[in-house]
Amino acid sequence: MATVETRRLTKRFDSGNAVDGIDLSVREGEFLVLVGPSGCGKTTLLRMLAGLETPSSGDVLIGGRVVTWLPPRKRDIAMVFQSYALYPHLTVFGNIAFPMRAAGVARADVATRVQKAASMFGIERLLQRKPRQLSGGERQRVALARAVVRDPVVFLLDEPLSNLDAKLRTSARDELQQFQRRLGTTTVYVTHDQVEAMGLGDRIAVLDHGRIHQLGTPRDVYHDPADTFVATFIGSPPMNLLQNGRMLSGVRPEQLLPRAAFDRDDAIVPFPFTVNRIEYLGADRLVYGTLDAPRADTKVIARLPSMITLPIETGRRYDFAVRERDLKHFDRESGRKLERAA
Amino acid sequence: MTHRPLIIVRSLKRTGHMLLLAAFAAFLAFPFYWMAITTFKSTRDLIDTTHNPFLFGAPPTLDNLRVLFFQTDFGRWIANTAEVGVLVTLITLLLAVPAGYALARLSGRWGHRLGIAIFLTYLIPPTILFIPFSRIVAGLGLQDSLWSLVLVYPSFTVPFCTWLMMGFFKSIPRDIEEAAMIDGLSRFRAFVKVVVPVSSAGMLTVVIFTLTLVMQEFVYALTFITTSAHYTVSVGVPTFLVRGDVYFWGSLMGACLIVSIPVALVYNLFVDRFVAGFTVGAVK
Amino acid sequence: MSASGERLASALATHAPAPARRRIHPFDDESWLGRILLAPAVVYIVALVGFPFFLAISYSVSDATVGSTTLHFVGFRNYAQIFQDPTFWRSLRNAVVFTGVSQVLVVVLGKILAMAIYADFPGKWIVRFLILLPWVAPISLGSIGWLWIFDPVYSVINWSARALHLFRGGFWPIWLGQPDLAMASIILVDVWRLLPLATVIILAGMSSIPQDIHDAAAVDGAGFWRHLFRINLPLIMPIMLVALLFGIVFTFTDLIVVYVLTRGGPFDSTQVIASYAYFTGVQGGDLATGAAISLFLFPVLVAVAIVFLTIAKRTEVT
């Protein structure tokens, strides 16, 4: 395993900078997730790490070595594509064996290593099948086995779970994380799904328009967002943003609760609102409403856990509030977070 | 309203539909049917105007075919055509497959334009180029040689086949090549070891198409070749089997049939792909 | 620059790694590889299509003959000559008429046939095979088949029509011997040859219309004719245009059908540009005039190419 680093990495297209001077540092053995909306540059960044795109400027380093101009095959990396990119004309065995055959590994060794990789993912019985005979989940495992068999220093994964149906996705996520922990290989993972990012990453890099807005642990990114973009991208439903004089104040839906839910000693800020709509989701209720004056017309969402049984009806006004220390403040123009005044 | 009228209308429609199809099929296939009957009719049966041409007035015979194979150079012509076909196919594959790949993958915007330019050269017909070619061929000393055809035929097979392969390569997902590059191959080796095997269907299309084009070509063969032993089938049959005013119709029709049917059978399997090439991407 | 960036920059200053070689291995360099792979085909096409084409132009303004060893520039003398030649104008007219009439018929009949064969039915494979026969068989051989069908003495058409009492008395058309009939016969064979290609192309166009659109039209109450003229035809118009363009190119530049059926006769009444160029240039030995005649094929090709480019431009979005 190795570190991965980018220095002022930029990729220019006619329409603008897809990746805009990114400095990224991935630690050894870390599972780093690149997350952001489509078009934010995360896939372009990953492809430059792989050597599938040449940067307009800047450098890529793997294991401390500058690899910016090296072709993919010289970087000692492995990649799993969104579509898995299995070779349709080869059997599963052939697919997994391919990188070793390309490197000229001896025949006997090839067979043993393929067996080992296949058993790691439980696909030994599929070795003689062709990709078109496999289900989506099985193909994904073959792609992973092919990546693992070369014992690379870095894994690059480009949305490998997005082609699976929802149920499969959660179990696949679980397996993926376990297997990465076991191997301990440095991994860079791209996804647009912020739930996936939060669930998988040791650290998350939130990207938009070619720049990293924040790089931190899931906890940091959720509880201490660096700007309004991160604050509203991470977390579903998104954070409520309210005008507050010359600032924007943010409060997460689960922090906006009926006044009665708070202890008497908590310093709270009142946010009374009129309810427009309620969604009953089982474990939670999502309450959509409009605030009273002075912030009339601001729409907010509150998330009430099922523990709170207070009856809520549409059209009525309720006294909700937020703990003062839960409020986040952002600069209105730049969107950046404002450090709390002491 | 009862249902009966609807059923009658439906079966009338169906019958009308079938009749229409039958009429078209009859019009298009009739000459071949006619070739088949004529091939097996004895000459005296053919010549006798009192006989019903649809029936065998005299017993069917293989004489015409015997004449065709043993008293003409027909066998020779088929061999010539096959020789030229194989060589031209090899040349076309060697030129068109890499070119198609380069246009599909490696050239960006001007690649698309260049691809169209190449396709358009297919529209320059032999009937413009055959006159200068007659001089060029004579100048190279290839007059009356099959090598003149081997040299010239790729000029119309390569443009169209490059276009075909370009479309075909474009339909192969890029990430298979990228996976191969990550797995340890250079771009070129990835092309040879992954892209080429996966596109075997496309290349087979090129082979079939080139062979049928070679078999159909007439203008250049007529212009460059002069002696019977060097004819290809397409030219030999019309020019040689007509001696003066006497047409050996039985043998003539036999020759046409023997060449047309196998080509038709094979071509039929690949029609959809050719059409894809013809429609210039206007149909996805 | 961010704080981490500043730290990195200072780290770089003191511990700069050796700069990597910017050269990319040839087999990886995409632009180099692209050019190398493309070069043979392009060189070949330029040499064997481009070069002869310009040679044709230069012949047309020279005094080249089959036997001559030198070329002299003669200006537009050859062109003036052919403009005075009534057979040339006849050829031009014939080429236009044959192409125009036959291709209109091809597109209309092709659409009808495509509609008839669109649905699945038992035996469809056989019907498709039969329908494709004229296109896949070598053109010269198919034309010979028609030569026999049109034979002045043994024509099966005449025999059948006589047997059905459609032809009476002395009415016995000589299909290839009378100028008007000969022209009609050639048009017939042109239609026969290209109908399969047009049909298959139009079929491809029809299958690219999503079924949803037909369903929506049915729900909206469109009957057969309305559906045909307001939905079906407009949507496949581009594809019919492609079929038409190919048909125009193949027919206008065609030599084979005319050569086999009539050799341009009777008395040059069915000559077309291509055949006249052949008889003048190759058989007659006058390369210069032949070249000049054949170049009149080019304007139509340019027009067709422009239309193709317009269509292709619209699909360039991918």
pLDDT digits (tens, 9 = 90+) for C213-228: 888 887 877 788 888 8
Nearest chain A residue to C8, by CA: A7
Interface of C with A in 27-46 (CB under 8 A): 28
B76-226+261-278, superfamily in CATH? MetI-like (1.10.3720.10)
Residue B183 touches partner A, C-beta closer than 8 Å: yes
Select the residue of A81, A89, A103 nearest B179 (Cβ to Cβ). Answer: A81
pLDDT of residue C73: 86
Q: Do C25 and A71 touch (CB under 8 A)?
A: yes
> How many angstroms separate the CA atoms of C97 and A221, rounded?
76
C258 within some domain: yes
Does C41 have pLDDT greater than 60? yes
Between A251 and B109, the higher pLDDT residue: A251
For residue A4, list its beta bridge partners: A26, A62
Domains identified in chain A and CATH numbers: 4-228 (3.40.50.300), 241-331 (2.40.50.140)
Whether residue B111 has pLDDT greater than 80: no
Chain-centroid distance of CA C191 in Å reads 13
Per-residue pLDDT at C28: 59
Evaluate if residue A223 carries a pLDDT over 90: yes
- A154-158 sheet: strands from edge to edge: A77-80, A154-158, A186-191, A31-35, A203-208, A211-216
Q: What is the DSSP string of B45-106?
A: HHH-TTS-TTS-SS---SHHHHHHHHSSSHHHHHHHHHHHHHHHHHHHHHHHHHHHHHHHHS
C26: contact with A, CB 8 A cutoff: no
Q: Are C311 and B282 in contact (CB under 8 A)?
A: yes
| Average pLDDT score over residue span C85-102 | 93
For the record, the structure tokens of A223 come out as: 């509880």
pLDDT at A286 over 90: yes
Q: Can you tell me the ipTM of this complex?
A: 0.85
For residue B175, the surrounding DSSP H or E stretch is helix B174-182
- Domain assignment present for residue C309? The answer is yes
Answer whether residue C98 is part of any domain. yes
Mean pLDDT over residues C285-311, rounded?
Answer: 87
Tell me how close the Cα of A193 comes to any Cα of chain B, in angstroms: 22
Kind of pairing, strands A4-13 and A57-62?
antiparallel
How many domains does chain C fold into? 1
φ, ψ of residue A25 in degrees (nearest 5): -135, 115
Per-residue confidence (pLDDT) for residue B244, from 0 to 100: 61
- Distance of residue A128 Cα from the nearest chain C Cα, in angstroms: 32
Mean pLDDT over A87-113 rounds to 89
Query: Which pLDDT score, from 0 to 100, does residue C19 have?
Result: 44
pLDDT of residue A302: 93
pLDDT beyond 70 at A37: yes
pLDDT band at C1 (very low <50, low <70, confident <90, very high): very low
Best interface-test mutation with A: which of B178, B183, B204 has the largest number of A CBs within 10 A?
B183
Confidence of residue C14 (pLDDT cuts 50, 70, 90): very low
Chains that touch A (3 or more CB pairs under 8 A): B, C
CATH number of the domain that C150 lies in? 1.10.3720.10
Looking at residue C73, what DSSP letter applies? B
Cis peptide before A294 (omega within 30 of 0): yes
**Nearest-CB residue to B103 (from C38, C204, C277):** C38
Scanning the structure block, which residue is given the tokens 């949305």?
A: A159
Question: How many residues are there in chain B?
Answer: 284
C256 touches B at CB < 8 Å: yes
pLDDT value of position B284: 40
> Is C28 within the bounds of a domain?
no
Q: What are residue B242's DSSP bridge partners?
A: B247
pLDDT tens digits, one per residue of A157-209 = 999 998 888 888 888 898 899 889 999 999 999 999 999 999 999 999 999 99
Q: Specify if C279 maps to a domain.
A: yes
C167 pLDDT tier (thresholds 50, 70, 90): confident
The residue segments making up the domain with residue C261 are 84-317
Q: C144-158 pLDDT, tens per residue?
A: 889 889 988 888 888
pLDDT for position A297: 80
Contact B182 A79 (CB under 8 A): yes
Supply the pLDDT for residue C27.
57
3-state DSSP of chain A: CCCEEEEEEEEEECCEEEEEEEEEEECCCCEEEEECCCCCCHHHHHHHHHCCCCCCEEEEEECCEECCCCCHHHCCEEEECCCCCCCCCCCHHHHHHHHHHHHCCCHHHHHHHHHHHHHHCCCHHHCCCCHHHCCHHHHHHHHHHHHHCCCCCEEEEECCCCCCCHHHHHHHHHHHHHHHHHHCCEEEEEECCHHHHHHHCCEEEEEECCEEEEEECHHHHHHCCCEHHHHHHCCCCCCEEEEECCEEEEECHHHCEEHHHCCCCCCEEECCEEEEEEEECCCEEEEEEEECCCCCCCEEEEEEECCCCCCCCCCCEECEEEEHHHCEEEECCCCEECCCCC
In B91-150, the residues whose Cβ lies within 8 Å of chain C are 94-96, 98-99, 101-103, 105-107, 111-112, 114, 116, 118-121, 123-125, 127-136, 138
pLDDT at C17: 44
Confidence of residue C32 (pLDDT cuts 50, 70, 90): confident
Domain spans of chain B, in order of start? 76-226+261-278
Shortest Cα distance, chain B CAs vs residue A150, angstroms = 8
- B139-180 pLDDT, tens per residue? 888 888 899 999 999 999 999 899 889 888 888 888 899 999
Distance from CA of A23 to the nearest CA of C (A): 7
- Reported as a pLDDT band with limits 50, 70 and 90, residue A34 is very high
Question: pTM of the entire structure?
Answer: 0.80
